[in-house]
């Protein structure tokens, strides 16, 4: 699945909800991450963050929450105001911890960040 997220004006709160198809939020015992990058990821490894990461939000930081299979990503304006203007790549992944951890790509796509001309 590939999703183009709604445009976001830099400096506004990012609020996005999604529904898991085959999982519930509590299945991801190793957490969930939302990553925005300048370039498409070179691998599917969750540890491959690299220098092109614009944003990393996670359940560990409280920016991703769940109610059963419905997840919400909420990133405050104080953080998005630092995002560069452009069209970027994003991915959402969850990790199931254990002896053989599983990293599940939940969704991915693009997002366009628009300038906030009032603040420029």
120: in domain:
no
User: Which is more confidently placed, 40 or 29?
Assistant: 29
What angle (nearest 5°) sits at the alpha carbon of residue 48, between those of residues 57 and 87? 60
Per-residue pLDDT at 117: 76
Per-residue pLDDT at 92: 95
The answer for residues whose C-beta is within 8 angstroms of residue 69's C-beta and 6 or more apart is 19, 20, 21, 23, 24, 25
Average pLDDT, the chain: 90
108: in domain:
yes
75: in domain:
yes
Domain count, the chain: 1
pLDDT category at 2 given cuts 50, 70, 90 is confident
Average pLDDT over residues 108-115: 95
The runs of H, that is alpha helices, within the chain are 77-80
Residue of 34, 39, 42, 29 lying closest to 18 (CA atoms):
34
23: in domain:
yes
Per-residue pLDDT at 104: 92
Containing structural domain, residue 94:
2-114
83: in domain:
yes
119: in domain:
no
Residue 54 sits in a domain of what CATH number? 2.60.40.10
67: in domain:
yes
CA pair distance 62, 49, nearest whole angstrom: 19
pLDDT category at 51 given cuts 50, 70, 90 is confident
Max mean pLDDT among 12-26, 44-58, 106-120 falls in 12-26
3-state secondary structure of 2: strand
Structure tokens at 105: 């790509």
Phi-psi region of 78 (alpha: psi -120 to 50; beta: other; left: phi over 0): alpha
> What does the pLDDT look like over 58-90, one tens digit per residue?
999 999 999 999 999 999 999 999 999 999 999
């Amino acid at each position: 699945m590939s999703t183009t997220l709604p445009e976001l004006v830099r400096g506004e709160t990012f609020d996005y909800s999604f529904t898991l198809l085959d999982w519930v939020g509590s299945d991801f015992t190793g957490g969930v991450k939302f990553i925005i990058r300048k370039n498409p990821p070179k691998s599917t490894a969750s540890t491959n963050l690299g220098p092109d990461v614009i944003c990393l939000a996670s359940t560990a930081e409280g920016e991703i929450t769940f109610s059963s299979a419905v997840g919400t990503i909420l990133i405050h304006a104080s953080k998005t105001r630092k995002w560069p203007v452009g069209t970027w790549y994003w991915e959402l992944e969850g990790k199931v911890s254990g002896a053989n951890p599983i990293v599940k790509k939940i969704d991915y796509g693009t997002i366009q960040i628009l300038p906030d001309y009032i603040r420029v």
